[in-house]
Chain A
Amino acid sequence: MIKILEIIGEYFLFLWRVFSRPEKWHEFFKKLIYEMNAMGVGSLLIVSIVAITMGSVITIQTALQIESSWVPAWTVGFTVRTSVIMELCPTIISLLLVGNLGSRITSEIGSMRVTEQIDALEVMGINSASFLVLPKIIASLIVNPILIVISIFFALLGGYVTVLLTGVVSAFDFIDGLTSFFRMYDVYYALTKTFVFAFVISTVCSFYGYRIEGGALELGEANTKGIVVASFVVLVLNLVITQIML
């Protein structure tokens, strides 16, 4: 228990160091662009594939559950849209990104720690935490919401294509459902979650990479720990945010 509190304290001290002003804005923006590119391009394909299949599956399942004559036909489209926007995309895709972006961040920073590259930065008088980690956090705060919005689009598209191919409901009713009773608040809720999750993923995973002591073995351990802890925190915060916002 004391150990956990210690780690939490260490985490906030780490954040304190990370969020000091960058010394060289030029270097910062260069790294930011690089990170955004690496994160976005690196995850786009897997995110799209997962989103399409998720949308497709949820459409079929919803249609089968409510196959009854006195439920209006647009219910399927409506339910699919709501669950995709409010829960599936922000949460499931964020969990996917923990594995994808998070482990990339831990490995990169961790291997710099193990090979003394972080020490080399410190000896030059550079705040290594801010220099290495801040661009990653900002990049994921920008890139993750974009990825989530794209995934929402692909999930709904997946659902629509499924409807066309299987005819579980008529395409007209599905579209009707997708477009009725639209609430902007759902999107705010989804994006709020995404932002918070992006922050958790990038900071927790960098933290575990940054604090490694040892070699390749510890790097693997840190990677696993980062993913487990980040996923856990994402799930807990999902509950908290839902309590607060809905």
Chain B
Amino acid sequence: MIEVNEVSKYFGEKKVLKQISTVFEEGKVNLIIGRSGSGKTVLMKCLVGLLFPEEGAVLYDGRDFHRLSADAKKMLRSEMGMVFQGAALFDSLTIQENVMFPINMLQKDKSDEEKLERVNLCLKRVDLQNANNLYPAELSGGMKKRAAIARAIACNPKYLFCDEPNSGLDPKTALIIDQLIIEITHEYGITTIVNTHDINSVITIGESISFIYEGNMEWRGNKDNVLISDNELLNDFIFAQPLTQKIRDLS
């Protein structure tokens, strides 16, 4: 479980996160939703320690991440996997080497066969078993995202972070990625945190939802009550598109 406690983040004078508090539950897909520029990526970067919040704390099972010793931080990081908004695959390495990379760096005592077996398992899990020797530049956007997921789960993470895993993909591929994320989460009991502004994701995999508006924690809930809340800002966000408006009017 990850608890976010009154976290604030400034860039210069600008306060991008304003006393955010929320909880991300174990074994569930936890969504962070909000409009573009609302601070989702900044919040996720504070969670994994790429940014340092000026105020507040991020607690991993009670441990205050930003105040851990360097070694303890490293230990905790070996339990994290992250899928970046732009996939962030290492472009000098093949897909197989990309997935192998964290295993090589973090699980030093594994034999070469064990490592390879793990890599193939991960690639198979995301349906990329035939792309082993391709380079990231040779993959489509959806394949890159899947490869990034394979790399993120390579070391059996306890915590999986996905920054807009299905942005820029067609609805069908986006659905496949969503399914993949929720299956992996349940299969391994991972605490998964997903940034998204995709309504389809919200209503299919939103087992827990935190809605941020301009850096404020505006609403918390899940996919069952997200469509029937009376929060104005949330409704503005959810029913922004003509399609969703139409569906609401029909029902």
In this complex, what residue of A is CB-closest to B82?
A: A123
Give the bracket for the number of chain A residues in contact with chain B.
10 to 19
Q: Within the complex, what minimum Cβ distance (angstroms) separates B138 from chain A?
A: 16
Inter-chain contact B85/A124, CB cutoff 8 Å: no
Tell which of B74, B78, B86 touches A116, judged by Cβ atoms closer than 8 Å: B86
| Neighbouring B residues of A27 by C-beta, 8 Å | 104-105
Taking CB atoms and an 8 Å cut-off, the chain B residues in 19-78 that contact chain A are: 45, 48-50, 73-74, 77-78
Chain B contacts to A: CB under 8 angstroms: 45, 48-50, 73-74, 77-78, 80, 82, 84-86, 88-91, 101-102, 104-106, 108, 161
Contact A115 B86 (CB under 8 A): yes
Q: How far is the CA of A246 from the CA of B132 in the complex (A)?
A: 58
> CA A238 – CA B108 in complex, angstroms?
45
Q: Which of A112, A117, A123 contacts B50 (CB 8 A)?
A: A123
Closest 5 CB pairs of A and B: A125-B77, A116-B88, A120-B88, A125-B74, A116-B84
Q: Does A24 contact B (CB under 8 A)?
A: yes
CA distance A125 to B74 in the complex (A): 5
Question: Which B residues lie within 8 Å of A125 (CB)?
Answer: 73-74, 77-78, 106
Question: Contacts of A23 on B, CB cut-off 8 Å?
Answer: 105
In the complex, the answer to whether A123 meets B48 with C-beta atoms within 8 Å is yes
Interface pair A117/B77, CB less than 8 Å apart = no
The yes or no answer to A67 lying at the interface (CB within 8 A) is no
Q: A117-B89, A125-B78 are in contact. List 13 more A-B contacts (CB 8 A).
A: A23-B105, A24-B105, A115-B86, A115-B91, A116-B85, A116-B88, A119-B45, A119-B84, A120-B88, A120-B90, A124-B106, A125-B106, A126-B105
**Quick one: closest B residue to A116, CB to CB?**
B88
| Complex interface bits, A110-131 against B, C-beta within 8 A gives 1, otherwise 0 | 0010011101101111100000
Alpha-carbon distance between A27 and B105 when the two chains are bound, in angstroms: 9
Q: Are A124 and B77 in contact (CB under 8 A)?
A: yes
Chain A 90-121: CB-based contact to B (< 8 A → 1; otherwise 0): 00000000000000000000001001110110
Q: How far is it, in angstroms, between the C-alpha of A116 and the C-alpha of B106 when the chains are bound?
A: 20
CB distance from A35 to the nearest CB of B (A): 12
Is the CB–CB distance between A115 and B106 below 8 Å? no
Among B77, B78, B88, B89, contact of A119 (Cβ-Cβ < 8 Å): B88
Q: How far, in angstroms, from A116 to B48 measured CA to CA in the complex? A: 14
Question: Please, which residues of chain B bring their CB within 8 A of the CB of A122?
Answer: 49-50
Bound-state CA distance A112–B80 (Å) is: 20
In the bound complex, CA of A116 to CA of B51 (Å): 13
How far, in Å, is A36 (CB) from chain B's closest CB?
16
B81 to chain A: closest residue by CB: A123
Chain A residues with CB under 8 Å of B78's CB are 124-125
A115/B50 contact (C-beta < 8 A), A124-B77, A124-B102, A125-B77 known: no
Q: Which residue of A lies closest to B77 (CB)?
A: A125
Residues of A within 8 A of B77 (CB): 123-125
Nearest residue (CB) in A for B51 is A119
- Residues in chain A near residue B90, CB distance under 8 A: 112, 117, 120
